[in-house]
Structure 1
Amino acid sequence: MSAAPVKILVIDGEAAIRRLLRTGFSTQGYEIIDAPNGRAAIELLAQKPDLITLDLDLPDIPGFELLKVIRMRAETIPIVVLSGRDDGASKVQAFDLGADDYVTKPFGMDEFFARVRVALRHQLHAHGERSIFRVNDLSVDLVRRIVKVGQRDVNLSPKEYDLLRVLVQHAGQALTREFLLGKLWSSFTDAQYLRVYVRHLRQKIEVDPERPQYVLTEAGVGYRLRAPAPIARETQTHT
């Protein structure tokens, strides 16, 4: 079971396409918000989607103009253009304005979902993150936001997942309580909140929460997520 599902903003002037994508993405475990025009889409950017699909033929704002606006306001959000225009000039212009991929209508759902996953992985790699983090039996799929210990699915609350993701991003590093509080809460919060979420997270991913092997306490500093062991290189013997 995933925590804090990936949020996708679907911008499309065709109600049938919005319904199709809402149904399809929902079966993949994504959270969907949609907009029938550019103005509604700009308002929904405040909800901080993880990825945007963009139709170029909207009733109010030209698609390329909206693409410019989105890129100015959200530089790193992956954008997959979904358009009936299949000419090379439109594709080139979309990529030049910051689109991450371009899919023409009509389209196959399986291929489209695969392209969405690729765009999400590329975003992680651009920020120096692995799409899947593994250490011992713990695995964190940062694209699908799925956490497992061995074969067991771990159901985390959104805040628990956010804490784990920050630890994953800095695996092996001791993170101060102040740093974690600043990452997880926009306003001042007592360190007791952090201790509560650390305890909850340990109860869900540790075999023995009293003797954690993943989320480790750094005395006088804060917390550290155990880093994966380095891959041993084979040595060759030359005769």
Structure 2
Amino acid sequence: MNHANILIIEDERKIARFLKLELEYEGYEVAIAEDGVAGLEAYTGGSWDIVLLDVMLPRLNGMEVLRRIRLSGSAVPVILLTARDSLPDKVSGLDSGANDYITKPFAIEELLARIRACLRMSQMMKADNELLKMGDLFVDEKTRVVKRGESQIELTPREFDLLVYLMKHANQVLHREQLLSQVWGFDYFGDTNVVDVYIRYLRKKLDYPFDSPPLIHTVRGVGYVLKE
């Protein structure tokens, strides 16, 4: 049985009620907030393992709720529930700090798989916090601070998870499929080229702005490796 605490912030009562029943059937502890303000209050007043957050909310929209959660320093996994399925909307949500998104309408089996993947990653991060170093790149898993030299680098949660995995497997050539399964989860549903997209994001933040030698390298036809 599952014992994680899940907060659903969703203004459509039928959807919220359906999700609550399905998640409770799976063994989760579930609470519902019906607008952005109530959701933020519920979040700050409780202890949550994951948040399911609708984007289009009354009083305070989901993106602002997400922004305030991340400003508080919280790394709790957040899955966005959205009717917007365009690539810019998805990228915006992930860059704003979401761990994942799912577009409406969705199959409950897919949402459950995404929840399991996010919880697995969160548990792995909690169980293995340490200071990681590669050349002049430093990553503190506990505080989620990333620095290259004296420059602090802001990463989204997914970028951070990808970087941590690369650093823990430094000097190893990692296949795209391996990165996809370990960072996004075995139950990930989506474009497989998402790995290439996020490697590009990391390079723009970690390699391109600095005079130091690049750390992320492509092994053509295979995948990527982090090395000096």
Q: TM-score, normalised by structure 1?
A: 0.51
The 1:74–1:50 alpha-carbon spacing in structure 2 relative to 1, beyond 3 Å, is: farther
Separation (CA, whole Å) in 2 of partners of 1:42 and 1:110: 27
Residue 74 of structure 1 deviates from its aligned partner by 4.9
Match of 1:13 among 8, 11, 24: 11
Separation (CA, whole Å) in 2 of partners of 1:74 and 1:10: 20
Question: Identity of counterpart residues, as a percentage?
Answer: 36
Partner in structure 2 of residue 206 of structure 1: none
Is residue 2:50 matched to residue 1:51? yes
Separation (CA, whole Å) in 1 of partners of 2:61 and 2:109: 28
Which structure 1 residue ranges, 5 or more long, are not aligned?
130-239
Partner in structure 2 of residue 102 of structure 1: 101
Whichever residue aligns with residue 37 of structure 2, its letter is: R
Partner in structure 1 of residue 28 of structure 2: 30
Q: In angstroms, what is the RMSD of aligned CA positions?
A: 1.6
State the structure with bigger RCO (CA 8 A, min sep 6), 1 or 2: 1
Partner in structure 2 of residue 40 of structure 1: 38
The 1:109–1:74 alpha-carbon spacing in structure 2 relative to 1, beyond 3 Å, is: farther
* Largest Rg, 1 or 2: 1
Separation (CA, whole Å) in 2 of partners of 1:40 and 1:62: 11
**After the TM superposition, which residues 107-118 of structure 1 pair with which residues of structure 2 at under 5 Å, given as runs?**
107-118=106-117
Whichever residue aligns with residue 28 of structure 1, its letter is: E
Q: What is the CA deviation profile of residues 179-201 of structure 1, one whole-angstrom value per residue up to 9, with x for unaligned ones?
A: xxxxxxxxxxxxxxxxxxxxxxx
Partner in structure 1 of residue 86 of structure 2: 87
Q: What is the CA deviation profile of residues 166-187 of structure 1, one whole-angstrom value per residue up to 9, with x for unaligned ones?
A: xxxxxxxxxxxxxxxxxxxxxx
SS at match of 1:76: coil
Residue 127 of structure 1 deviates from its aligned partner by 2.5
Whichever residue aligns with residue 79 of structure 2, its letter is: V
Separation (CA, whole Å) in 1 of partners of 2:71 and 2:105: 29
Which structure 2 residue ranges, 5 or more long, are not aligned?
129-228
Separation (CA, whole Å) in 2 of partners of 1:118 and 1:108: 16
Runs of 4+ in 1 over 4 A off after TM superposition: none
SS at match of 1:127: helix
Separation (CA, whole Å) in 2 of partners of 1:29 and 1:22: 11
Separation (CA, whole Å) in 2 of partners of 1:6 and 1:125: 15
